[in-house]
């Protein structure tokens, strides 16, 4: 994945959208798919605001086994259906090597979450496909560990990798994670693959998502993934860091002032 072997930027085509090209890739939607109506309601809003990708978890890697684990296959079907109706691409997480084929049937971009960054068996299996991978940074992973883990995908023959900085564990407890903007700048130097930013998980607080989205774009991110929910107070996961659609629209307006091609 090193720039040493490929000095120019690689563009990753995801269902016709060139991630890493001129235009920022904007992925938005709820943390979890909760129902058809919930997803449809938010999808039309994020599409109108300018997103090209609909995010939503069907298989959720929750810290506690007693928390909502996602709708599974039903969630994938809802995602595909809503995305097709609203002309969006689907990005969703895969948490098990045995689910890759199933999730890839419904998704355009497979997310590897922070908790699976070093699930090497899954990474090797993803390397044997050509499906684009959104590769999130591990909870406490160094930049070198993150790049090395990506090699498992690339070495297998899958050259469709998009990195995603999502904050790291530090001594700070006010925020859920510490959004490491250094890593965005470092990766832009170290790898030829696109790098996007997730200020929702990077901060854990909706009030901080817009400022850190602006900062991520200013520092050179190729796109953003943002949690948006029409009723965050009722969200089954990550309501505290979810923007309402009106705030997401404002985020888009602000980001356009930094990167006019959005
Ligand atoms: C998510 O995108 O909802 C998620 C679980 O992200 P992460 O793996 O970065 O915690
Ligand atoms: Mn989430």
Architecture of domain 3-258: Alpha-Beta Barrel (3.20)
Given a contact cutoff of 8 angstroms between Cβ atoms, the answer to whether 10 and 159 are in contact is yes
The model's pLDDT over 20-42, given as tens digits with 9 standing for 90+, comes to 999 999 999 999 999 999 999 99
pTM over 0.95: yes
The model's pLDDT over 57-91, given as tens digits with 9 standing for 90+, comes to 999 999 999 999 999 999 999 999 999 999 999 99
Ligand 1 pocket, residue 56 CB under 6 Å: no
Ligand 1 pocket, residue 202 CB under 6 Å: no
- Please check the confidence at residue 159 and state whether its pLDDT lies above 90: yes
pLDDT grade, residue 261 (50/70/90)? confident
Instruction: Give 57 Cα–ligand 2 centroid separation in angstroms.
Output: 8
The reported pLDDT for the residue numbered 15 is: 98
The C-alpha atoms of residue 107 and residue 113 are separated, in whole angstroms, by 15
Length in residues, the chain: 262
Query: Which atom of ligand 1 sits closest to the CA of residue 60?
Result: 5
Beta-bridge mates of residue 92: 110
The reported pLDDT for the residue numbered 249 is: 98
Instruction: Give 142 Cα–ligand 1 centroid separation in angstroms.
Output: 17
Look at residue 160 and give its three-state secondary structure: coil
- Please check the confidence at residue 166 and state whether its pLDDT lies above 90: yes
CB environment 228-239: b (16+ within 10 A), e (fewer): bbbebeebbbbb
Instruction: Give 114 Cα–ligand 1 centroid separation in angstroms.
Output: 6
- Please check the confidence at residue 262 and state whether its pLDDT lies above 80: no
**Of residues 68, 238, 63, 192, the one with CA closest to residue 139:** 63
pLDDT grade, residue 260 (50/70/90)? confident
Q: Counting Cβ atoms within 10 Å, is residue 90 exposed (0-12), middle (13-18) or buried (19+)?
A: buried
Given a contact cutoff of 8 angstroms between Cβ atoms, the answer to whether 156 and 126 are in contact is yes
- Please check the confidence at residue 2 and state whether its pLDDT lies above 90: yes
Given a contact cutoff of 8 angstroms between Cβ atoms, the answer to whether 79 and 54 are in contact is yes
pLDDT grade, residue 172 (50/70/90)? very high
Nearest C-alpha to atom 9 of ligand 1 is from which residue?
Answer: 114
- The residue ranges of every structural domain in the chain are 3-258
The reported pLDDT for the residue numbered 98 is: 97
């Amino acid at each position: 994945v090193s720039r040493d072997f490929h000095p120019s930027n690689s563009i990753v085509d995801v269902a016709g959208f060139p991630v890493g090209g001129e235009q920022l890739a904007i992925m938005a939607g709820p943390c979890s798919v909760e129902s058809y109506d919930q997803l449809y309601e938010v999808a039309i809003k994020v599409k109108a605001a300018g997103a090209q990708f609909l995010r939503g978890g069907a298989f959720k890697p929750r810290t506690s086994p007693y928390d909502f684990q996602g709708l599974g296959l039903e969630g994938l079907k809802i995602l595909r259906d809503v995305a097709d109706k609203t002309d969006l691409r689907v990005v969703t997480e895969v948490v098990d090597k045995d689910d890759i084929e199933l999730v890839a049937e419904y998704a355009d971009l497979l997310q590897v979450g922070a908790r699976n960054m070093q699930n090497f068996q899954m990474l090797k299996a993803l390397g044997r496909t050509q499906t684009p991978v959104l590769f999130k940074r591990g909870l406490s992973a160094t930049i070198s560990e993150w790049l090395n883990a990506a090699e498992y995908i690339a070495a297998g023959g899958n050259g469709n990798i998009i990195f995603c900085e999502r904050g790291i564990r530090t001594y700070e407890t006010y925020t859920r994670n510490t959004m490491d903007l250094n890593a965005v700048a470092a990766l832009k130097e170290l790898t030829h693959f696109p790098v996007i930013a997730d200020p929702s998980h990077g901060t854990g607080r909706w009030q901080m998502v817009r400022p850190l989205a602006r900062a991520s774009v200013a520092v050179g991110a190729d796109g953003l993934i943002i949690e948006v929910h029409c009723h965050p107070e009722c969200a089954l996961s990550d309501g505290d860091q979810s923007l309402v659609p009106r705030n997401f629209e404002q985020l888009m307006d602000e980001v356009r002032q930094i990167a006019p091609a959005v």
